[in-house]
Every structure is written in C-alpha cells, then in structure tokens.
Copies of this chain bind each other. A is one copy, B any other.
Amino acid sequence: MDELALIDRLRLIAIDPAARGLDDDVAVIGDLVLTHDMIAEGVHFLESDPPASVGWKLVTVNLSDLAAKGAEPIAALMGFTIGRDSEWDEKFVEGVAAACEAYSLALVGGDTIALPADAPRVFGLTAVGRGGGPVPSRSGGKPGDALWVVGFLGDAAAGLALLKEDAEAEGPLVEAYRRPVPQLAAGKQLAPYAAAMMDISDGLLLDASRLCAASGCGAAIRLDMLPLSRAFIAERGADRRARIAAATGGDDYALLAALDPETDPLGLPLPSGTTIARIGTLSADGPTLSLVSGGSPVPLPKRLGFEH
C-alpha cells in the first residue's frame, strides 16, 4: 500500500464535513480552523540548521495554512521530542517562542516525549485559528478566475541552494528559507473574495496543479508575471530558467488565490509592502497546467515542485 492508497484508506474514516475529504490543508470545526504539520530532521530540516530557525519554522508553516484560510491564529499544541542535546532543544524552544510571540499564538498544550538515542528529531504542531467568515477551500476555483500570488517565489529554494554550497551562507535568501513569514494579514483580506485559496509550500506549479485538480479546472500560468525578489534576481537572474526554478522550488509559504476576475485585490487594504501579482487564469482545460512566457507556450518541467 503506497502513500496515496493509505491516504485513500484514511479518507474512508474522514467522512465528517469538517474533514473536507482530506483535500484541504485544514479542518473546520464551527468557526475554528485547525491544521497539523510535522517536520522531521533530515527531511524538512538539516541537523546543521540553527535550532531557533527550526522552531520558528515549525510554527510558521502551520500559520501559513491558517493564512491561506483567512483565519486568525489563536492557539497551538506542540508535540515536542526532547533530544540528545539540551542546548539545541533550548534554542529550538526559543524559536518556537519567538514565532508564537510574533503572531500572538498562545501555546496551550501538547506533549513532550523522549526519542531513542540517535533517532532523528520529529516535531508536530497543531495550530488553531478563528475564521472570519466562509473559509476558502482548494476546490472552489472556476474557469475564468484570476490566479494571484501573495509573496515572493523562489527565495527559500535559492537560500537552501546557497546553504548546500556553503553552510555559513547568509543574507535575505537564506533568511527566507529559515524564517518564513506567514501571510496572515493578506490572507485575512483576501479570504472573503477567494473562490479558492491555499498556501504555496511545495512549489507554485505543484500546488497550482493541486488547486486545479480539486477545482476541476486547468490553469494558464504566465512565467513573466511571477513575483521575484531583488535578492532572487541578483542571485539567479530573471530568465526562463530562473523563473522555472522559482515556480518549482518550494518552501515559499506564499499564498495562491483564485479570485473572480472582477475583483481587484490591489484595492483591498493589504499591509504595506505586500507583494501581490496576477500570475495566470483558471481555464476549462481539465486539470492541466500550461505555461506561457513572452506570449509563447513553454513546456512544463518534469518536476513541478517538492514531493515529500
């Protein structure tokens, strides 16, 4: 039984409407929005990553799921594994605390367990948010909806690539990889207007293909319109190859929203400095993506994103 078959089996016990068929990143219970993400050493972070950044990331990857549902963070329960290095653990907890404080998230419970010696660290966090109204799913997109991205693409993947070359690398790209910033305020503004919304965590093309599959649409994505940061362009340039890298790298924690074409998100009171870009349009062409650059079609890359 492979992962997909197992998830199909789990779907059979996920019949409650709150589960949204396990197709979404969150569950909805009354006005509460719940999400649970795990991270493992050697898979989602490296032993060499600063422990405070690992703690920060555990919190913010969950908050990014809340952001994509327009939910305000209220509380978290953490599954914490106490490890072989108490200094590491202490710094990890400082990172968790910094993120909780930055986003007014109360740590309200959880569990602390020991792992066998030399086992890779594994952490889990359940974040609870309060929705401000209807909670957008992945599945409400319609042909003709405009696809918008909030936040830059490619920075984190470029930062990780720098770290792989030089573990001491620093700068805004490394920071984007280590300290993602969940788009909570923008998500809250967009949620009432979004036909579908999700966070981009595994790469734009992979996550857009998931939104398309859930919505029963295709999408045409304009590579020229991807939001690229100055740091990304300085490091990688802005040619087609760089744009494909930005669209498939993962770890962005940006938002992908499908909005009625009449809705202009630039008229919303987004936080100052928010980067938002219209990167494409949903189409009726089944659940397929097409890429366009300079008006010409571009073949889809084999790898659409980061498959865990």
Contacts and interface: CB of A to CB of B under 8 A. Distances in A.
A225 interface: no
Interface string A164-177: 00000000000000
B109 A6 contact: no
Interface residues of A, number: 69
A29 B124 contact: no
A41 B115 CA distance: 8
Given A29-B128, A124-B124, A43 B109 contact: no
Contacts of A82: 3, 6
A15 interface: yes
A3 B37 CA distance: 23
Contacts of A214: none
26 contacts: A1-B87, A6-B82, A7-B112, A9-B93, A10-B80, A10-B93, A10-B97, A18-B108, A19-B106, A19-B107, A27-B77, A27-B108, A29-B75, A29-B128, A34-B108, A35-B77, A36-B78, A37-B79, A38-B124, A41-B116, A42-B115, A43-B115, A79-B124, A119-B119, A119-B120, A122-B122
A48 interface: no
A29 B77 CA distance: 12
A108 B25 CA distance: 10
Nearest to A87: B1
Given A14-B107, A27-B109, A116 B75 contact: no
A20 B77 CA distance: 12
Contact of A13 (B6, B106, B126): B106
A184 to B, nearest CB: 18
Contact of A34 (B3, B79, B128): B128
A40 B90 contact: no
A268 interface: no
Interface string A43-82: 1100000000000000000000000000000110111111
